[in-house]
Chains A and B, each alone.
Chain A
């Protein structure tokens, strides 16, 4: 009885032919589950481990290395906003953008707004320094942001 739907399991299986062993599918599998379920729960980890013929601790070991994946207690909101805090963005006010937006939506970095709409986080260099301060909204990068434009963007989501 797996926490993973057959559709998710099939998506994971489709990764197998790309690699010579199943362990290498760990990161793709975590992404597939995380995107679909906004978190990787304990049961999901067991499901992934079964599919990949690994021990759950091995999957979780990899998962916890990256700040990226959330566990079931910290599931993502509908959208994930990262605000860069590395050197080029810091020099152009990126950290203050994060603070203002966190205050506006009453969250600490890493938390999800009360209405479940957005999870606000800091990121390390997003590689868009020509448009600092920049943010990542789900899978899209937005450059030359300030607190107002970020808030407006969030409101429109």
Chain B
């Protein structure tokens, strides 16, 4: 254990922790402002915002302070390190650095996307001089709208922290961004014809501390102080990036990654970042229905759920092995448990299958070199398994039926008219069944479809239950590495939809409103493999189902 002093306060640093002064100070809630430093990028110490006074406390108690300021980001915090960040010297240096940064910075706050989450604003407010002494013309640089398909650059807002350039060189490896020219005329740019369109491109907008690099998707859409945030998990693949969903007035405006070293690190891919638009699609299923002989009857949830329940009970009483369900790998653990336990209660020989697990290509690892080969150490992976919770759903199903039937097997059984009633849960925005696969259900008497968007199986459905997207639900997703994380409801779904958890709670006629926390306790008690989801750790960075497993990106 090492002891570091931060402004007189003692901080304990663990034996295996390698922290710089910024990180050591953060442990006791002391902010050392910084632009260019980022935990996942190389240290360049060029912004000079994090300058602090550093010294050494000797065993005899005397403190020897270094005569010069040093950047906190490049100074390791070791046993005996003394960090002073509130001295007049440090305060004066911060005022000077901020004054310098504002010399050529345009006063764009009223129209700049970054306002409200801008490091320059925040640090100027907290540490700046408060007035300008500039009497000279500012450098003006042209905006560049074609940095990438999703990225636009307001060049003169840039403070040259080079986080974006380092991201494209060290994380994605695609090296599209560069600095051109020298001195105060420097600008960020691409090489003509080589825009920033790599699969991780959107991260440079997050990384930009000011409003220089902006997302074309989000540009001028919302003021950040109108947005309400909820933490969630991207459902796009089994990496399960921790994210934050920002919405206003029940409309989602953007997703961005939430740092989580147990999950993915600090980034997310563009497919996930921009892949939520379907949640506001006008193609959403928005009316519970019963369908008889092609005749569609819109109805309400209470009515259709009663009908579904009755049909299932009748089918179960009609003989052995008459009911089956397909549980989508897009369901949460709680939803899978509610459905499985309800059906198991109706028929102990219920067949439970997992919905199609969409695999696309191979795991895509970054960074890559110029030839496209992966460079170790891997900093980010977009996984080929394009669903958020196969592991969690399989754990639930295995508990109830001892095995997980693959989707193709269930199709085979269904087309052989084995089942009287099947309960199908979709949820994959890219679709989950072809027409041919859907034919397998053409002769099943009761086909219950719980889904978000239309699919070929609807033409065989007898009951349609419009359900929710991941931004409308709460529950646990388990990623490729066994990390269980919570998604939270961010927006209400359209009228005529019901989030899956509530829908299944009502189907099972459990009393009152769904209480996911109590439900998780129940699941943890019932399923040893999922015991960890009752841990309070779940609410933070998530909890590994098997404690011995190491976190991986």
Bind each other: yes
Shortest distance from the beta carbon of B181 to any chain A beta carbon, whole Å: 5
- In the bound complex, CA of A57 to CA of B193 (Å): 10
Knowing A42-B192, A45-B191, A60-B191, the reply to whether A55 touches B174 (Cβ < 8 A) is: yes
What sequence of 0s and 1s flags, for each residue 43-61 of chain A, a beta carbon within 8 Å of any chain B beta carbon?
A: 0010000000111111011
Interface residues of A, count at CB 8 A: 14
User: Is B190 positioned at the interface, with any CB of A under 8 Å from its CB?
Assistant: yes
Task: Please indicate which of the listed interface residues A53, A58, A61 has the most CB atoms of chain B within 10 Å of its own CB.
Answer: A61
Residues in chain B near residue A45, CB distance under 8 A: 191
Q: How near does chain B come to A157, taking the closest CB pair, in angstroms? A: 30
Q: A64 at the A/B interface (Cβ < 8 Å)?
A: yes
Task: Flag if B180 contacts A56 (CB, 8 Å).
Answer: no
Q: Does the CB pair B176–A53 fall under 8 Å?
A: no
Q: Does any Cβ of B come within 8 Å of A67's Cβ?
A: yes
> How many angstroms between the C-alpha atoms of A54 and B169 in the bound complex?
11
In whole angstroms, how far apart are the Cα atoms of A72 and B97 in the complex?
37
A65 contacts chain B at the CB level, 8 A cutoff = yes
Instruction: Mark B170-187 against chain A: 1 for CB-CB distance below 8 A, else 0.
Output: 000011111111100000
B125 in contact (CB, < 8 A): no
Whether A58 contacts B178 in the complex (CB less than 8 A), given A42-B192, A53-B370, comes out as yes
Size bracket, chain B contacts: 10 to 19
| Distance A54 CA – B179 CA, assembled complex (angstroms) | 15
Is B100 close to A, CB under 8 A?
Answer: no
Select from chain B the residue with minimum beta-carbon distance to A50.
B370
- Asked whether, in the complex, the Cβ of A65 is within 8 Å of the Cβ of B191, the reply is no
Per the 8 Å Cβ criterion, residues 360-391 of B in contact with A are 370-371
Smallest beta-carbon distance A50→chain B, Å: 9
Once A42-B192, A45-B191, A60-B191 are accepted as A-B contacts, the answer to whether A55 and B370 lie under 8 Å apart by CB is: yes
Most buried by A among B174, B191, B193, B370: B191
Q: How far is the CB of B193 from chain A (nearest CB, A)?
A: 8
The CA-CA distance from A57 to B165 in the complex, in Å, is: 10
Indicate whether B194 reaches chain A with its CB closer than 8 angstroms. yes
Query: In this complex, what residue of B is CB-closest to A65?
Result: B182
A54 near B370 (CB under 8 angstroms)?
yes
Which residues of B sit under 8 angstroms from A61, Cβ to Cβ? 178-180
Please name the residue on chain A nearest to B175 by beta carbon.
Answer: A55
Interface residues of B in 236-287 (CB under 8 A from A): none
Instruction: Give the distance to chain A from B302, nearest Cβ to Cβ, in Å.
Output: 60
Within 8 A of B (CB), among A29-83: 42, 45, 53-58, 60-61, 64-67
Interface residues of A in 74-94 (CB under 8 A from B): none
Residues in chain A near residue B190, CB distance under 8 A? 57
Q: Across the interface, name the chain A residue whose C-beta is closest to B168.
A: A57
Q: Is the CB of B178 within 8 A of A57?
A: yes
Asked if A58 contacts B181 (CB within 8 A), the reply is: no
Given the interface pairs A42-B192, A45-B191, A60-B191, the reply to whether A55 lies near B176 with Cβ below 8 Å is yes
Cβ of B370 and Cβ of A60 under 8 Å apart? no
Q: CA separation between A58 and B371, bound complex, in Å? A: 15
Residue from A57, A64, A66 within 8 A of B176 (CB atoms): A57
A57 to B194, CA, bound (A): 8
B180 & A60 in contact (Cβ 8 Å cutoff): yes
Complex CA–CA separation, A120 to B420 (angstroms): 89
A104 and B168 CA atoms in complex are apart in Å by 47
Q: Are B181 and A55 in contact (CB under 8 A)?
A: no
Which among A45, A56, A66, A67 has the highest number of chain B CB atoms within 10 Å?
A56
A55 to B179, CA, bound (A): 13
- When distances are taken between beta carbons in the complex, the residues of chain A under 8 Å from B174 are 55
A67, B194: Cβ atoms under 8 Å?
A: no
Interface pair A57/B175, CB less than 8 Å apart: yes
* Chain A residues within 8 Å of B179, by CB: 61, 64-65
Contact B181 A64 (CB under 8 A): yes
Q: What residues of chain A have their CB less than 8 Å away from a CB belonging to chain B?
A: 42, 45, 53-58, 60-61, 64-67
Top-10 shortest CB links A-B:
A61-B178, A55-B175, A57-B178, A64-B180, A57-B191, A56-B191, A53-B370, A65-B182, A60-B191, A64-B181
Q: List 30 A-B contacts (CB under 8 A).
A: A42-B192, A42-B193, A45-B191, A54-B370, A55-B174, A55-B175, A55-B194, A55-B370, A56-B194, A57-B175, A57-B177, A57-B178, A57-B191, A57-B194, A58-B169, A58-B175, A58-B178, A60-B178, A60-B180, A60-B191, A61-B178, A61-B179, A61-B180, A64-B179, A64-B180, A64-B181, A64-B182, A65-B181, A66-B182, A67-B182
